Structure 1
Amino acid sequence: MNLKALDRRTVAAILAAVLAIALAVGFGLSMRDDIAGTTDQTGRSEPKQTIKDACASSTTLRGLKQLVFAQAGDLRTLERVNFDILAAGAIVRMEDPVARGHDASLDLTRCSGRFILELPPGAEVAFNGDRRLVADVIYEVQAAADGSGPVYRMNGAENIVSRLAAFDMEGHRLHEPAASAADDPLIDAEALPPVTPEPVPTFPPPDVDTDSPRPPPTLADPSFDCRYARTRGELLVCGSDRLAALDRTMAELYGSAMDDADNATRRRLVRTRDAFLDYRDRCRDTACVASAYQGRMREIRDIMTGAY
């Protein structure tokens, strides 16, 4: 064998390996710069939104929710009333969002994660008892060319879209929450109309001594202090003995479940509690609040039995 030819092949292989390493290092540095920010000639770091922010922000979650409901709405041939209430009351979460890459020339970020659509109480009857719809998805966030805001694309949620398109309550009406969580956060009590307490008898029964002093009427007594009630849901509960009783029952069930649960189950109880409170505080009437509490108690029992 020609030793000179062998040497040339060896040198060429070494050069190719060095070039591959250099390209890989250069790409890694480029991606790190894109994620962490750029550095100017003075050495100061110029902060910029990370690609993970684009994958996990509340703006992105709202955009993805609008996307699946818009796609489902285009496929629907059924009534719109309950569908629109479902869209207003559903809550979106993204578990384990991961930034897969960023194309700076297109201002496009690629992401993946587990898309979870939490359904409002009562809607599960139309989804075979499911209280949430889940899909592993790949999605993109890109700035619109006209500057109107981000544009979203998502693959993997087709089953959710088809189930939403076929959603039908068969003549029943969902309770309508507020239009959106963003428009209805913590509410100042003075900004809401006064809550009318449940009626009490005007006259005592015939066998009651009308000359004896009678205790003054009191507010309802839920598990929380009504003096600090601020959200619409809290105010409705504090104005209703029935809702206050539901709140106490739910709180006792939740506390007992937390005492008996392992760490993973406790985290699930806390996460779903936050979703329940968000929905309850967007309710506009006592029927919606009562339905939310009843649905939450079923949810707690299902979590503890492993049915959730």
Structure 2
Amino acid sequence: MTRLPLILSLSPLALAFSNTAPFIAWSSHSSSVLDRLPSTVDTHHSVHLLETILLEEDVCEHEAIVLIDQPGLHASDLRNLPSSSHVARSLSSAPSSRQFAYVPLPLPATPVDASSISAVAEAVSEKCGSRLVNMMLGQGGVEFSKEEKSIIMLSMPELELDGDRKGRVMEHDALLSTTLSSLPFTNHLTIFTGSSGRLSLSKRQDAFGSALTNSTAAPAKKKSGILHNYQLLTPALITSFLVVLFLLLPVMYFGISALASIQNPIRLEVTPKGFNAAERKNQ
């Protein structure tokens, strides 16, 4: 019974981070766009934060802007990366960087969705006169020119909840290092964030729903006993028990004791007065 209140008390905390994703950004040169960002973000969702960065006037100073999106990415995935990983090294060595662990994601039912990120990228591309390129992680055959500014939308594979998640994150980090190192741009801004994955979101909802269902069903089974469904101890039965306990039992006890005390008489040979057994034997 104590398990359910504990789960329900943790439910708001779990739900508070269920629709969030990490948002990290770094630049190869000092970036006033990143330096102006606050150290914490509470109410801004990922698309709004992206607009805050990309719609600044001086964002066009960068030769390339790389927008990395990975569905199902959690803050713990980046936290578990070793210090030797590409993402960790890029953040630690970048002249300007920002890290936000839990940025709210736009709800799927709202007008703000993945297409809005593309719309922001298109707006920045027109504003800066940059080439807009969509590519997958590890995709080759895309040529870039250092003289042509580019907005690169890099899509990464979705991270599922099951399996070797940490191993896949490490593989993606290695591919990301190869992809970014192949770019010819020296002054670039990289933004890495997550989004709501279709598979991860459905599995997470099913798992959370089944956990609540099992926790609420467990106490119900404990209450399904016969004493819970029927009232056996009625006033009449209680009165009968008292009569048996305080009246009949004492009577039975004294009756049995009286019967046990009655014994058959034992016949004893009475020896006449003055009788001597030794003298009678000698006779």
TM-score (norm 2): 0.24
Structure number with bigger Rg:
2
